[in-house]
Structure formats: structure tokens, C-alpha cells
Structure 1
Amino acid sequence: MLILLPPSEGKTAAAKGHPFELSELHFPELNPARKQVLNALAHVSSRPDALASLGVGASLAAEVERNTRLHDEPSAAAHTVYSGVLYDALGYGTMTAPQKRKADAAVVIVSALWGAIAFQDFIPAYRLSMSVGLPETGKLASYWKKQLPAALDAHADGHLLVDCRSSSYAAAWSPAADRTVVVNVFQERNGKRTVVSHFAKHTRGELARHLLTRRGKAPQTPASLLTAAQEKWQAELVAGTARKPHALNIILPDSAG
């Protein structure tokens, strides 16, 4: 089983530590592409129109400025740097040592800057979204869509993929549909289902934690993933097709909101 996660928008910068080393990151096939994006990001972030180009407000000016010196910034494990709702719910820091080892082996983060990294890879905090386009690369989702298959297709071969990515990050790599289950979260109110973005992130984080900390064998099929999810939630499985992945729908009660 592999769990695909998006990065968090908000990041916790390392207070100390050595700068990142491309040679130490997983998926070294991506290093030439990573260098191009790093250089393009530094260039854009130094321009007067940097905030507009990166689609952020003035309150994030310091984070954008940090993009210009990422090679000198202290780094920390990705599971520490990424600190949004999903990662809080996943709670890596409170796992046991065996559970952390399982997470290190199972989690792949699809990133606008790095392409894809492992949970334990050391990175600096940065500001870049997959929806952004850089002059040297174009739209990052399209850029990485050309790069990621060479690194990730072989890594994913034979695994069940639990896809917890948001849509812009899912666009960057499409794994084999028959082995992929996209996780959707709905809230049911008065018999009607609605998408709940905040609770979707939280619930995907909870699902990832449950899969990594529960006893027993990790799910190997969409059906066994459904069984694992039903240990905690009301859930259903929508079968995929040759081109469309399966979908695990988790339905939250009205009280969740």
C-alpha cells in the first residue's frame, strides 16, 4: 500500500538544521527537473510582481522572499515541514516507532517544487502551489505530468494506491486506474450529500493515520481498503473502469460540521 498526499499550503520552517541536498531526496530521477523548478521559483520570487505571479497576498511576502534562498535555508523532514489540517490529523509525531517506519515507507507526497518526495526527506519551507505557472516551466501540473511517470510508475507497481491528493496535485500524475482508489469525503445532511473541503482534508489525514496505525495487514485491494475504512466511518466503494480509478466515499454525519 502507498498513500499519496498533497503538501500543505502552510509550512513550518525548520529553526535549525543543514540545507537540503538534492542527492539525498528519494526519486533522484527527478533531480534535473527539481533544479529547473528551484531556479525558476527563485527567479520569479525576486521580481517586483512575485506575489501576483505566485498567487499569494502581501501577508506571505516573507515566505516568498525565502524562496530566493532555499539552498541556504535549514531543512527538516517533510512530515515536520508540512503542517496543515491533513498533517495535523495524520499526527506523525505521536506514532510509535514501528508506525513511523510504516509511514516512511508508505507515504509519497506529490509536490509543486520537488515533484514527489518521501515522508522523511529533508526539505526547507517554501511557498509554491501546483496551480502556479512559472515562465521557465509553464503550469506546474503539466510540467510534472511529463516528469513523474518515469520516477513513480515503477515505484507504485504492485501496490494499492490510496489517493488523498487534491485535484491540482492529482493532475500531476495519474497512476494505474485499476490499483488506485481516490478518497472522497462528503457530509450527509437531510439526505443530501455535499463536499466539505476542510473536513475532507481532516478526514483524509485521519484515514491515512488509521491505515498506518491499525493492526493487521495493510489493504492490498480496493475491497480491503473499504473494509479498513468501515472500521471507523460510513463508507462505500465505487468501482472504477479501465481509465477511471476506484473511489472510496467517506460519508460524515451532519454532526461533523
Structure 2
Amino acid sequence: MLVLLPPSETKAPGGDDPPLDLDGLSFPTLNPVRAKLADALVELAGDVPASLRALKLSERQRDEVARNAELWSAPTMPALRRYTGVLYDALDVPGLRKAELAKAGKRLAVASALFGVLRGTDRIPAYRLAGGSTLPATGPLGGLWRPALEPVLVAEPGLVVDLRSGPYAALARVPGAVTVRVVSEDAHGRRTTVSHHNKAYKGRLARVLATLPREPSTVDSLIRAVGRAGIAIDRVGECELELAAGPGTG
């Protein structure tokens, strides 16, 4: 089972591991695109105003451009510790026991505008690049990633649970992947998509999937396993699930 997580714009700073080594990352067939984008980001960082425009950053975020300038020399850390924010707070990687962390490293993968997809244990530097970005040297990211990334994800054995957000799902389609929509239900049984707490619920779901004693092999077995962990989830299509959020969310 592979659980595809969205990345986060915010990244933990620093790291204790050596600089980026593409050959040490999972899914090595993606390395040519990774190298092209990394070089393009470093080159673009030499022109701070152009970087701010391309990355849609404000003047107060010039430090993000400085991070990109140091992509090849900055220290690294595992992807599951690099990404931060609401989803990753709910995932709570620091709170995982050693055996759970080993499972999470194998089962969880992070979609990335720069790296395509990463295993949780892959060591990466801090950087700034969003899925909807267009770099002057490369054009829209979808045109680069789709031909390289889609075959990699389609070839992944077992269930693929796709929790990516829209801009990252657009970088590569995964036919047959299990998708999850977070919904709330009113007193009349009407369901609406949850927006504000969406990331937190997906983070909790990812934590459950990462730590299950056994990997589910079918959608039905996934639903049963998640239900035993206390998360209400329903099947609304062949590969579409709805996760029922608590009352008052939206």
C-alpha cells in the first residue's frame, strides 16, 4: 500500500544529514526531472525579483529564495520530518514508536513539485516550489512531471490511497487509486465537503494507515481496518471514499 500525501509550503529548517543526493532517493527514474528542476530553481534564485514573481512570494519571503539557492549544499532530513503544517501535525511523526515509524517510512509517500514523489525516509533539503508554479526555464510543471511520474505511480503494487490536493493530483493521474473526500453531515443527512479541517482529518487517516498491523489489500479491507481505528469512512464509488468529520467542522 502506498499512501500519497500532499506536501506543505512550510518546511522545517536545517537538518543533520548530508546534502541532497538524488541517487539516494526512491523512484530513481524521476532523477532527470528532479535534477532539471533543482538546477532551474538554483539558477532562478540568482534573480530574487524573478524568483518572487515565479514562486508567487512576497518581499517578506525572500528567505525562501535563499533556501532554493542552497538546494545542492544545504543539509537534509527525512521527508516526513521536513514537511510541516496541519496535516503533518495530525500525522505526528515524532510520536510514532520505532516499529510504527518503519512502517510509515515504507507506506507513506509525499507528492512534491520538485521531487515528484518521495518515500517518507528520503532525505531532502528545505525548498520552495508549489505544484501550480511555472518556472521560466521549464514552463508548467505538469508538462514535465506527467510523462515521468504517471508510469511510476501506476506501476506501484497494491493499493494506492491518494490524499493529494488538487495541484499535486494534476501533476500525475493514478487510475484506480482510492480517493478520500472529507465531509460533514447536517441534521438532514446532507453532506458537504469540509475545507478548514480537511488537512487535519487526512493527517489522522494517514497515521492510521501508516501504523496498521497489516496492510489492507482491497478497498473493503481498508474501510474495515480504518473503522476499527475509530474513523468513520464510507464507500461512495468504486474507488471513492468519504470520511465523516465531526459536527461543527467546515
Establish whether TM, by shorter chain, passes 0.5: yes
Structure 2's unaligned 5+ residue stretches are: none
Count of matched residue pairs: 247
Match of 1:129 in 2: 130
The CA deviation at 1:27 is 1.1
With over 3 angstroms needed to count, the CA separation of the structure-2 counterparts of 1:98 and 1:249, relative to structure 1, is: same
Question: Which range moves more in the overlay, 7-16 or 119-128?
Answer: 7-16
Counterparts of 1:91 and 1:236, CA distance in 2? 24
- Code of the residue aligned with 1:211 in structure 2: it is L
* Aligned ranges 1:75-224 → 2 under 5 Å: 75-154=76-155, 156-157=156-157, 159-177=158-176, 180-191=177-188, 192-215=190-213, 217-224=214-221
- Code of the residue aligned with 2:86 in structure 1: it is V
- Code of the residue aligned with 1:112 in structure 2: it is A
Percentage of matched positions with identical amino acids: 37
Match status 1:225 vs 2:222 = yes
- Code of the residue aligned with 2:170 in structure 1: it is A
The CA deviation at 1:81 is 0.6
Query: 236, 240, 248: which is aligned to 2:241?
Result: 248
Confirm or deny: 8 A CA contact 1:112 1:141 kept in the other structure.
no
* Aligned ranges 1:27-66 → 2 under 5 Å: 27-47=27-47, 48-66=49-67
Q: The residue matched to 1:13 in structure 2 has which SS?
A: coil
The CA deviation at 1:93 is 1.5
Deviations 1:207-236 (A, max 9, x none): 011122244x22211111222233323321
Q: CA RMSD in A?
A: 1.7
Q: The residue matched to 1:198 in structure 2 has which SS?
A: coil
Confirm or deny: 8 A CA contact 2:54 2:136 kept in the other structure.
no
The CA deviation at 1:190 is 4.1
TM-score calculated relative to the size of structure 2: 0.92
- Code of the residue aligned with 1:213 in structure 2: it is T
The CA deviation at 1:115 is 1.1
Q: The residue matched to 1:185 in structure 2 has which SS?
A: strand
Counterparts of 2:91 and 2:217, CA distance in 1? 20
Counterparts of 1:126 and 1:204, CA distance in 2? 23
Counterparts of 2:81 and 2:246, CA distance in 1? 31
Deviations 1:171-217 (A, max 9, x none): 1122232xx210110122343433223311111110011122244x2
Deviations 1:29-56 (A, max 9, x none): 1111111101111222322222121112
Confirm or deny: 8 A CA contact 1:189 1:253 kept in the other structure.
no
Confirm or deny: 8 A CA contact 1:77 1:119 kept in the other structure.
yes
Confirm or deny: 8 A CA contact 2:15 2:75 kept in the other structure.
yes
Counterparts of 2:218 and 2:15, CA distance in 1? 41
TM-score calculated relative to the size of structure 1: 0.90
